[in-house]
Amino acid sequence: MNNYNLILSSLLISAMTATFLPVLPNQVSYAEKRPAQESFSWWNLFRRKRPVGSGKGAPRPTINGVCIAAPVRDEIVWSDRPFIIWQGNLRKVGLSQGIPNATATDNIQTGQLYANYTGKPLFPGQQYNWSVAIENSWTGNIAFKIMEPQQRQRITNYLQQLEQQEKAKGTSAEGIAFAKAKYFLEQETPLWSDALQQAYSVEKPSPDLVKMREKIVKDLCDS
């Protein structure tokens, strides 16, 4: 009987020891391996970081009833392959460094109410024009400037580090675009065109991003 009790006690001690053993580093649970769920709101970001100006936002340039939501006239932009977005009906858009001609529409990829320049990188510190046509002929233009080289390089370096950090954390493509847009809007003079370009660069947008895209241009233009 004593031997039986001794064996039973040994088994109980072994079971308790196994229960309270610490989890070793190579025994991470499945739940710990899963990336943390991303939490961000595009709409809150753009509503919180309003353009400088009165009313809902800074005045947006209007050409024959078409509102150009971004860029505004003489805006400084970081991207050397810039972006334009509008509210209204445009027949065509083009990019030039002077009077637009037949080549102004080259390398312009147009989406629904927005367009990206996709040609060779534009030169830092140089001024360019987004040209727009309501009918067949050019109706007006929006002048903007690519950021000066030193400031642009500083931002470029930070964005590269930011992207590497986010990728290391397993952040999605949309999450990385959100982080970049947030950074652009946190500059002393918020870089609205660059932030919006990030929002429209996401190929498979979340419902929150889709909602923001539907409302932001109207919100900017109805100021």
Domains identified in the chain, total number: 1
The reply to whether 185 falls in a domain is yes
Q: What domain range is 151 assigned to?
A: 42-221
Q: How does pLDDT run along the chain (223 residues), one tens digit per residue?
A: 555 454 445 544 444 444 444 444 444 333 333 444 456 799 889 887 555 443 334 568 888 889 999 999 999 999 999 999 999 999 999 999 988 988 999 999 998 899 999 999 999 999 999 999 988 889 899 999 999 999 999 999 999 999 999 999 999 999 999 999 999 999 999 999 999 999 999 999 999 999 999 898 888 888 6
The reply to whether 37 falls in a domain is no
| Alpha carbon distances (Å) from 182 to 78, 106, 185, 208 | 14, 31, 5, 15
What helix, strand, coil percent values describe the chain, rounded to 5? 40, 20, 40
The reply to whether 171 falls in a domain is yes
The reply to whether 169 falls in a domain is yes
Three-class SS state of 96: strand
The reply to whether 16 falls in a domain is no
The reply to whether 17 falls in a domain is no
Provide the sign of the torsion angle of the four alpha carbons 181, 186, 208, 222, taken in this order.
negative
The reply to whether 108 falls in a domain is yes
The reply to whether 9 falls in a domain is no
Q: Could you tell me the pTM of the whole model?
A: 0.78
